[in-house]
Amino acid sequence: MRAVVTGGGGFVGRHLVRRLRIEGWEVVPLGREQVDLADPPAAAAAVRAADPDVVFSLAAGRAKATTQERAATVAVNTSPWLVDALPDRCRTVVRLGSSTEYAASSAPLTEQAALEPRGFFGATKAAGSLLLQAAAAERGVRAAVLRAFQVYGPDDHPTRLVPVVLEAARTGGTVPLPPHVSRRDWVWVGDVVDACLRAARQEDLPPGVVLNIGTGVQTSTEELVETAARVTGRPIATAAGAHPGRHWDTADWVCDPTAARRLLGWLPTIDLAEGLARTWARS
């Protein structure tokens, strides 16, 4: 089997590429080093040349400081060219979406939750999910959207929370905390990769299915720091209110993974303490 992984140089993409190769897939990663995914003709040509059986659409832009950056982020996150670029042999696209496509909720989020994106990134991801579903239905391509919650694990970007917390454990630094309680559903990167593979292989999924990928357990930033201190065996200093927080942060943000369990046979296998311990061991 041959796979294209857009965003193959990103955090989740690198893990997926490694897993696919271990399992014997032929993999073509398409990231910034290979092609400009904000350039539709170039990106489409790269997909056609790869001639994949499956496309894993993981590319995610986040830059938004300028008009040009916002335009590039929209182009990458929506990828409206993708389905038309697929060769005839390719009948499956698995898209990694985001929990930020949903409105805030005090209850666990199901796939029926309202689409009310939390900011620019969430809006572009939601638009890309809808465009993929529509285009795939027209072409008869099997598409699955996996809305991942807060993914973490080894080799994440150093500015993200888990790397910042573990670096503070290593160096004796201080973790800045937001002024208000922020909780997230932290899901191990290997479990997200497993969900991607299951979605690619499960041929009887409903057309355009959306599945939430999370643990069903939410953890505050303060609780995450406490867990990290316990598994590393090192004290971690914090500074309350020193981080401005993000406008989409919320006191409740948790997944209902029931549909993924029912349709993919998928369950998270690594809890937060074990995941932090594994990340620490590899950092």
Quick: pLDDT tens for 258-282.
999 999 999 999 999 999 999 999 9
**In which band, very low, low, confident or very high, does the pLDDT at 245 lie, cut at 50, 70 and 90?**
confident
Percent of the chain with pLDDT over 90: 95
Q: What is the mean pLDDT of residues 69-84?
A: 96
Contact 225, 268 (CB under 8 A): no
Task: Report pLDDT digits (tens) over 19-37.
Answer: 999 999 999 999 989 999 9
Domain boundaries, the chain: 2-152+187-217+254-269
The Cα–Cα gap between 89 and 169 comes to 49
Mean pLDDT of the chain: 96
202 CB neighbour count, 10 Å cutoff: 17
Residues facing 4 on adjacent strands:
28, 55
Q: Which CATH number fits domain 2-152+187-217+254-269: 3.40.50.720, 1.10.10.10, 2.102.10.10, 3.60.15.10?
A: 3.40.50.720
The Cα–Cα gap between 113 and 102 comes to 7
Task: Report pLDDT digits (tens) over 98-143.
Answer: 999 999 899 999 999 999 998 999 999 999 999 999 999 999 999 9
Q: What is the mean pLDDT of residues 169-181?
A: 95
Residue 24: what pLDDT?
Answer: 98
